[in-house]
Amino acid sequence: MPEFYIHHRTLYSYPEKVVDSANQIKLYPFNDNHQQVVSHLLKISQQPSIYTLQDYFNNTTGFFSLLQPHQELSIESFLRVQMSNPLYPSRDASSEVWDKILAEDLQQRFFDYLRPEIAECETEVRSILTASEDKLVHPLDSLTSLSSFIYKNFTYQKGVTNIETQVDEIWKLKAGVCQDFAHLLLYMMRLLKIPGRYISGYICPGSSEWRGEGATHAWVEAWLPDLGWVGIDPTNNCLAGERHVRLATGRNFTDTTPVKGTYKGAEEHILEVTVQFSTTEFTEPQLAGILPINLVAIEPEVMARNSYVAYMQMQQQQQ
């Protein structure tokens, strides 16, 4: 059972003092049989009180405010987690599973995860889905085939998309990062009427190199009546396993944003996001950046826009 230490730091710097900073964070990892949280600590500037609740999608969500004037907001998450590969029950007959998926009661139950967006490329995408609708093929095999299609036909390339890129543009570019590939696979799943949800988290470094490893990451989960929620990572053409650490889930990336907030003051600010990974406890020099281990950092960038959009764009370029 591998164990990972993860340090995730978000730093906002302002040219002059700002006030009334109200923030929402989704930095609380899931804790279950597959992902066991050994310890988790949040360190935030001025040590504010954090109010937490479970949101509509069962994500632990924190809220805090900094009322006093400040020129810097630092949010650090220190996570120690033990991981294992999910264990799934035996599959049912393919035709039976499809019948259950398409049943009215299941379609109503998972309505939030079934509505595909409107896209001009729908006809082209549906032509790809024809083979995936074969009721003699188990839905999971259909979805892994679609994951393989994305992996083989779309180039992993940073900087060509942003957080507002829609399915039509991804389909046209045939390129993007993990957020885009998760977005596209979700669109395909929903056209097939298979419930699908977006997952944000981390992909930890391992013995084999994966695209996007050692950083924040995104993938999808499909609800299958005989197996439950099954994670699929189209960026790496695999099922989510012991290196996929889950933070939040929702209909799409906007439901899973790690940090977002508002404040009063200067519009321009500098945003830095850093993620560190290790299989042993971090030392102080490592946390200070003197001896980084598997460090993924985004160069400081001056932002003159909504801080939520800025953060999501920064996260998207890490993946």
User: 54-105: per-residue pLDDT in tens?
Assistant: 999 999 999 999 999 999 999 999 999 999 999 899 999 999 999 999 999 9
Indicate the domain borders of the chain.
3-84+257-318, 94-255
Q: What predicted TM-score, i.e. pTM, was given to this entire model?
A: 0.89
**Cα gap 300→319, rounded to integer Å:** 16
* 1 or 233, greater pLDDT: 233
Indicate if 94-255 has the same CATH topology as 3-84+257-318. no
Task: Express each pLDDT in 112-167 by its tens digit.
Answer: 999 999 999 999 999 999 878 888 999 999 999 999 999 999 999 888 888 788 99
**Residue 309: is it exposed, middle or buried by C-beta count within 10 angstroms (0-12/13-18/19+)?**
middle
H helical segments located in 103-166: 104-109, 122-129, 139-153
The whole-chain average pLDDT of the chain stands at: 88
- Taking the alpha carbons at both ends of the chain, their separation in whole angstroms is 25
Q: Running DSSP on this structure, what letter comes out for residue 311?
A: H
CB of 142 within 8 A of CB of 192?
yes
- Residue 289 pLDDT exceeds 80: no
Q: State the CATH class of domain 3-84+257-318.
A: mainly beta
Who contacts 26 (Cβ-Cβ below 8 Å, separation ≥6)?
Answer: 55, 59, 60, 61, 62, 200, 247, 248, 256, 257, 258, 259
pLDDT at 213: 63
CATH fold, domain 94-255, is C8orf32 fold (3.10.620)
Q: Running DSSP on this structure, what letter comes out for residue 299?
A: P
